[in-house]
Amino acid sequence: MMEIIDGKTVSNGLRQELKVKIAALKENFGKTCGLCVIIAGNDPASEIYVRNKMKACEETGIYSETVKLPETVTQEELNAAVKQQVARNDIDGILVQLPLPKGLNEEEALNLIPPEKDVDGLSDENMGRLALGKDTFPSCTPGGIIKLLEYYKIPMRGKHAVVLGRSNIVGKPMALLLLKNDCTVTICHSKTENLKEIVKTADIIVSAVGKVNFVTDDMVKDGAVVIDAGINRNNGHLCGDVDYVNVAKKASFITPVPGGVGPMTVTMLIYNTYESALRKINGRF
Ligand SMILES: NC(=O)c1ccc[n+]([C@@H]2O[C@H](COP(=O)([O-])OP(=O)(O)OC[C@H]3O[C@@H](n4cnc5c(N)ncnc54)[C@H](OP(=O)(O)O)[C@@H]3O)[C@@H](O)[C@H]2O)c1
């Protein structure tokens, strides 16, 4: 029996739980969780993402601030804006919205965020910590996928997980998190030979390639768990990397697009910001 992984419901439930926990931090410790999003330029997609993040903060009781910088901002000004947030005690999480306008060095700005405030998990130090299996904030999309697997009680230990894609935002941290959860992990990318045969041996497939119908039913073993992190447009329709209709006939669990992985990403940002505030109180990290 195939089960659809309902990311929207899981995400809403997690947000409700977080709302209660965030209120409890305030009541018991007088601590308000705070998130700052730094955005540069006027990319319309980024503006929508930032608005969604702010809305999620409002919903869950997180204090949020947006620092808007002009398209013409210099690296020095951007760095100064990040440092200013780093110094603040009331800000627990800092996120630099990507992509930055051309000519700016994303890595330089991200690496100014200390790991305890890097709720997007993209700094070198946080990635290194993840690779070393240390306590850290993983990047939000892979972190959300692990939460979905846990919610549906999908066994990971000893299972063969195949991750399609090796980007620093999705593929690589995904592989590291699955490894942390005792999967046997294979990472496939554009230079992989015999990709189809490899994917066919997977118990868990996570696709983060960004291509419509990349994962077809002839690549999927009966009963596999199929997680689709892709966000693509096909004739104006939002879709993932997986040929959903046909793959769903073989999978034991599958995420739809939209409504699967996507809703978890912003929720993980809220989760990480709450965790950061909690760790500060507990003197942990
Ligand atoms: N759900 C969410 O919230 C969320 C968040 C972030 C991203 N996404 C989506 O996830 C997808 C991936 O994002 P990304 O940022 O990781 O993209 P990316 O940086 O473009 O990485 C794509 C990866 O796919 C691999 N690839 C491309 N063509 C391939 C092929 N023919 N065979 C095998 N591998 C191939 C690339 O391999 P090489 O490394 O060899 O080039 C690369 O590692 C996109 O659709 C994006 O929109 C979703």
According to DSSP, the β-strands at 34-40 and 63-69 are parallel
C-alpha 205 – ligand 1 centre gap (Å): 14
Answer whether 256 contacts ligand 1 (Cβ < 6 A): no
- Which structure tokens are listed for 271? 């989760």
Answer whether 167 contacts ligand 1 (Cβ < 6 A): yes
Q: What is the share, in percent, of the chain residues with pLDDT greater than 90?
A: 98
C-alpha 25 – ligand 1 centre gap (Å): 37
List, in sequence order, every residue forming a beta bridge with 200; answer none if it has no partner.
none
Residue 265: predicted pLDDT: 96
Answer whether 188 contacts ligand 1 (Cβ < 6 A): yes
- With bands split at pLDDT 50, 70 and 90, how would you rate the model's confidence at 285? low
- Please identify, by atom number, the ligand 1 atom nearest to the C-alpha of residue 240: 45
| Residues 91-112, mean pLDDT to the nearest whole number | 97
Amino acid at 247: V
Answer whether 169 contacts ligand 1 (Cβ < 6 A): yes
Q: Say if residue 232 is exposed, middle or buried (CB neighbours under 10 Å; 0-12, 13-18, 19+).
A: middle
Residue 1: predicted pLDDT: 84
Q: What confidence tens digit (pLDDT) does each residue in 215-240 have?
A: 999 999 999 999 999 999 999 999 99
Residue 284: predicted pLDDT: 63
- Please identify, by atom number, the ligand 1 atom nearest to the C-alpha of residue 209: 24
Residues 6+ positions from 43 with CB-CB distance below 8 Å:
99
Answer whether 15 contacts ligand 1 (Cβ < 6 A): no
Q: Which residues are tagged catalytic? A: 53, 97, 120
| Residues 252-268, mean pLDDT to the nearest whole number | 97
Q: Say if residue 11 is exposed, middle or buried (CB neighbours under 10 Å; 0-12, 13-18, 19+).
A: buried
Answer whether 53 contacts ligand 1 (Cβ < 6 A): no
Q: Say if residue 252 is exposed, middle or buried (CB neighbours under 10 Å; 0-12, 13-18, 19+).
A: middle
Q: Whose CA is nearest to atom 44 of ligand 1?
A: 210
Residue 198: predicted pLDDT: 98
| Residues 141-151, mean pLDDT to the nearest whole number | 98
Q: What is the share, in percent, of the chain residues with pLDDT greater than 70?
A: 99
- Please identify, by atom number, the ligand 1 atom nearest to the C-alpha of residue 265: 3
Q: Whose CA is nearest to atom 5 of ligand 1?
A: 141
Q: What confidence tens digit (pLDDT) does each residue in 153-177 have?
A: 999 999 999 999 999 999 999 999 9
Higher pLDDT, 216 or 282: 216
pLDDT, averaged across the chain: 97
Q: Provide the 8-state DSSP code for 167.
A: -
Residue 143: predicted pLDDT: 98
| Residues 37-66, mean pLDDT to the nearest whole number | 96
List b or e across 62-75, with b for residues whose CB sees 16 or more CB atoms inside 10 angstroms.
bbbebbebeeebee
pLDDT at 78 over 90: yes
C-alpha 167 – ligand 1 centre gap (Å): 6
Residue 283: predicted pLDDT: 82
Rg (CA), the chain: 19
| Residues 169-193, mean pLDDT to the nearest whole number | 98
- Please identify, by atom number, the ligand 1 atom nearest to the C-alpha of residue 168: 16
Answer whether 265 contacts ligand 1 (Cβ < 6 A): yes
Closest residue by Cα to residue 225 from 115, 122, 145: 145
